[in-house]
Amino acid sequence: MIRLEHVTKTYPKASRPSLDDVSVSIEKGDFVFFIGPSGSGKSTIIKLLLHEIQPNKGRVVVADRDVTALRSWKISAFRRQIGCVFQDFRLLPNRTAYENVAFALEVIGKSQGVARRVVPEVLELVGLGGKEHRYPHELSGGEQQRVAVARAFVNRPLILLADEPTGNLDPDTSIEIMRLLDRINRTGTTVVMVTHDSNIVNQMRRRVVEIESGKIVRDQPRGVYG
């Protein structure tokens, strides 16, 4: 599903590469943690997979597509296969939970009819049934992240990328979000999560890829943090 082949990425003006000749392969339906200290290059992987940045060397292949060779006008269609969740939720403050999720459908050309059918379903799935018409500021952090997960998942993407999704949440809420991601993973969606939350990694016992100074130092199925 995802393959990095000898990928090197050096940001302009950086003294050393963020990713240094990294190769890793993720199968369909996998659940993978990328862990490592701040600045180790793990968020760079997310940006590469989203085609927000380009590698200096190597290839990034997502869903059998060479992302590095993607034409700029095809990026938008490519991104529809990927759902994305961030530490800061990135919800639209002037829209309700329902509208936030529906917005993601509408701007890629889905009709309101489709939104009316699909959005309540996915909000129910993430455990927000009954709170569809709350605004983000009326929801707790965990609930806001659930809206973000619903938005990322509503289009049934092949891949769900999560960049420190529990970074702003307390431990209990974090576990709930992880249960949610686990449930999504069980539907066959590949989940790639960047984190440095050791609790969660230890509890989930999934594949762990550890990065340090731009290099992969450990790749373990059913691994732990430390």
Contact window for other proteins (CB under 8 A) among 9-17, 40-48, 68-76, 126-134: 68-76
Among positions 108, 117, 179, 186, the unique one binding other proteins when judged by CB under 8 A:
108
Assess 130 for contact with other proteins (CB under 8 A): no
- Residues in region 34-63 near other proteins by CB under 8 A: 50
Cβ–Cβ under 8 Å, residues 3 and 25: yes
- We find the least distance from the C-beta atom of residue 81 to other proteins, in angstroms, to be 8
> Is 116 among the residues that bind other proteins (CB under 8 A)?
no
Beta strands in 12-71 (DSSP E): 19-26, 31-35, 57-62, 65-66
Binding status of residue 73 toward other proteins by CB under 8 A:
yes
Helix (H) or strand (E) holding 97: helix 97-106
Nearest Cα neighbor of 33 from 185, 201, 160 is 201
Which of the stretches 85-93, 172-180, 186-194, 195-203 binds other proteins when contact is defined by CB under 8 A? 85-93
Minimum CB separation from other proteins for residue 163, in Å? 11
State how far the Cα of 190 lies from the Cα of 171, in Å rounded to an integer. 24
- In angstroms, what CA-CA distances link 217 with 24, 150, 188? 12, 33, 28
Q: Is 126 in the site for other proteins (CB under 8 A)?
A: no
Query: Which tokens go with 42?
Result: 């793990």
List the one residue from 109, 130, 172, 226 that touches other proteins (CB under 8 A). Answer: 109
Distance separating alpha carbons of residues 34 and 211, to the nearest angstrom? 7
- Nearest-approach distance from CB 201 to other proteins, in angstroms: 25
| Cβ within 8 Å of residue 209, ≥6 positions away | 24, 32, 33, 34, 35, 216, 218, 219, 220
Quote the least distance from Cβ 171 to other proteins, whole Å.
27
Residues 141-170 that bind other proteins (CB under 8 A): 151, 155
Dist. CA 52–CA 107, nearest whole Å: 19
25 binds other proteins (CB under 8 A): no
Q: Is 104 in the site for other proteins (CB under 8 A)?
A: yes
Which residues bind to other proteins, rule: CB under 8 A?
50, 72-73, 75-80, 82, 84, 90, 92-93, 103-104, 106-109, 111-112, 151, 155
